[in-house]
Amino acid sequence: MAEGALSGLRLIEMGQLIAGPFCGQLMADHGAEVIKVEPPKVGDAMRNWGQGVPLWFSVVARGKKSITLNLREKEGQAIVRQLAAKADFLLENFRPGTLERWNLGWEELSAINEALIMIRVSGYGQTGPYSSRAGYGGIGEAMGGMRYIAGEPDRPPSRAGLSIGDSLAATYACLGALMALEHRHRTGKGQVVDSAIYEAVLAMMESTVPEYTVTGHIRERTGSILPKIAPSNVYPTKDGSVLVAGNQDSVWKRMATMMGMAELGDDPRYNSHVARGERQAELDDMIGEWTKQRTSKEVLELCEEHGVPAGNIYRAPEMLDDPHFVAREAIVEVPHPKYENFRMQNVAPKLSATPGGIEWVGPELGQHNEEVYGELLGMDSRAMSDLAERGII
């Protein structure tokens, strides 16, 4: 693995599923030593998630070290304090108040290690009247405003097909942790990063709030279009469909020429952003009539020739076959102890000097107990055996 920008930094990951662990994945991708703490015998529930064969854990836990530890026991909590003393970050996504009940809150851990950065991911944040509520990603997406505008206008709100709320909260947690790290460089002091799922979603909601407070407008579900932004839609072809976005004035002129309708580029009915927005449905019908006379390949080749943004709507098979994905190594094969041909998305973003990489897929439960407890914390084999027998590790 190439050196990562976070090499030399250690993160203790507690919690499970997605909202916290995806933050840990991002940091492991870029070189941080991520020690994942899991309940003995059962591990992270994510180990059993996936479509058919449970493969998701192999992605979200890639590059991490797994140790088992019973956090509900005082001896387990004492071990967390030892780990925190030797860590740069501690990441958790329990319900707020849980760590405090275990005497592992910010006051306790920062007293042990004043440089520690504590990353906390939850549904509603660490404060406020809803903070103690259970909060899953879908609820955060609903309260943050995303679900209301997702889907077709004549149907109930839809989900995006991915756990986007959880992943957004984890991404903002990672961003906050790196900001806190820069602050620590200047002061030597750590701090708490408080990432709430609903706020991470809210942060992505563009101008929906001022649209309401200033004009009273509430953005509604619009399906595949963005109202008044035209032309930009999915259009039918002889063998499928393609997404074409010709909504900028100069691009629309090139697109009109591409379709053999150059005169429409300067037509006052279409030659401005506002005018095209008023005739969005009319434009979509016109373009759809043109695209459905051609194959997807023909449409895309013409769009490339004329500088019109366009693309196929990909699934995994198309991604694997695409030469651009191949050239940039966007998807890589990673050795897996159980499965052949195990491929997953590569590290993002790409850094020129410290690109990072994927060292291994999600580890076996407790695979790194001996390394972490023995080498990092200095436990001897007798002590580890005793803790294991009593269900502490």
The pTM of this model reads 0.93
Handedness of CA 65, 70, 76, 80 (dihedral sign): positive
Q: Give dist(CA 154, CA 208) in Å, integer.
A: 20
Residue-by-residue DSSP string for 7-75: TT-EEEE-S-TTTTHHHHHHHHHTT-EEEEEE-TTT--GGGG-SSSS--HHHHHTTTEEEEE--TTSHH
- What is the pLDDT, as a whole number, of residue 44? 96
- What is the pLDDT, as a whole number, of residue 15? 87
The owner of tokens 């820069």 is: 182
- What is the pLDDT, as a whole number, of residue 1? 59
Residues tagged active-site: 166
- What is the pLDDT, as a whole number, of residue 3? 85
- What is the pLDDT, as a whole number, of residue 152? 94
Q: Other CB atoms closer than 10 Å to residue 136's CB: what's the count? A: 16
| Ranges of residues in the chain whose predicted pLDDT is under 70 | 1-2
Q: Give dist(CA 117, CA 91) in Å, integer.
A: 9
Strands of 64-68's sheet in order across: 64-68, 33-38, 10-13, 89-92, 117-122, 192-196
Q: Give dist(CA 356, CA 3) in Å, integer.
A: 5
- What is the pLDDT, as a whole number, of residue 209? 97
Q: Give dist(CA 58, CA 170) in Å, integer.
A: 17
Extended strands (E) in 167-237: 192-196, 232-237
Extended strands (E) in 240-282: 240-245
Characterize 263-287 residue by residue with b for buried, 16 or more Cβ atoms within 10 angstroms of its Cβ, and e for exposed: ebbeeeebeeeebbeeebeebbebb
Q: Would you say 117 and 84 are in contact if contact means Cβ atoms under 8 Å apart? A: no
Structural domains in the chain plus CATH codes: 10-204+330-389 (3.40.50.10540), 232-313 (3.30.1540.10)
